[in-house]
Amino acid sequence: MEELITKLLEALGEDPARSGLRDTPKRVARSLQFLTQGYRADIDAVVNDALFEEDVRNMIIVRDIEVYSLCEHHMLPFFGRCHVGYIPSGKVIGVSKLPRIVDVFARRLQLQERLTKQIATTLKRVLDPIGVGVVIEARHLCMMMRGVEKQNSKMLTSSMLGLFRESQNTRNEFLHLIRMHEQMLS
Residue-wise pLDDT tens digits, 48-78 = 999 999 999 999 999 999 999 999 999 999 9
pLDDT-based confidence at 98, cuts 50/70/90?
Answer: very high
Catalytic residue among 66, 73, 113, 151: 73
pLDDT digits (tens, 9 = 90+) for 126-151: 999 999 999 999 999 988 888 888 78
What value, to the nearest 5°, has the Cα angle with vertex 156 and ends 65 and 102?
30
The C-alpha atoms of residue 137 and residue 141 are separated, in whole angstroms, by 13
The C-alpha atoms of residue 146 and residue 19 are separated, in whole angstroms, by 28
The C-alpha atoms of residue 11 and residue 2 are separated, in whole angstroms, by 14
Catalytic residue among 72, 151, 166, 181: 72
Catalytic residue among 2, 74, 137, 173: 74
Catalytic residue among 82, 83, 110, 112: 112
Mean pLDDT of 103-120: 98
Catalytic residue among 71, 82, 83, 110: 71
Active site residue 83: no
Catalytic residue among 2, 14, 137, 142: 142
Active site residue 71: yes
Mean pLDDT of 96-102: 97
Residue 125 predicted with pLDDT over 90: yes
Residue 165's pLDDT is 97
Q: Under the phi-then-psi rule, with left for phi > 0, alpha for psi from -120 to 50, and beta for the rest, what region is 26?
A: alpha
The pTM (predicted TM-score) of the whole model is: 0.92
Residue 185's pLDDT is 56
pLDDT digits (tens, 9 = 90+) for 29-45: 999 999 999 999 999 99
pLDDT-based confidence at 182, cuts 50/70/90?
Answer: low
Residue 170 predicted with pLDDT over 70: yes
The C-alpha atoms of residue 83 and residue 123 are separated, in whole angstroms, by 13
Residue 127's pLDDT is 96
The C-alpha atoms of residue 109 and residue 83 are separated, in whole angstroms, by 20
Enumerate the domain spans of the chain: 2-35, 49-185
> What topology does CATH give the domain 49-185?
GTP Cyclohydrolase I, domain 2 (3.30.1130)
Active site residue 74: yes
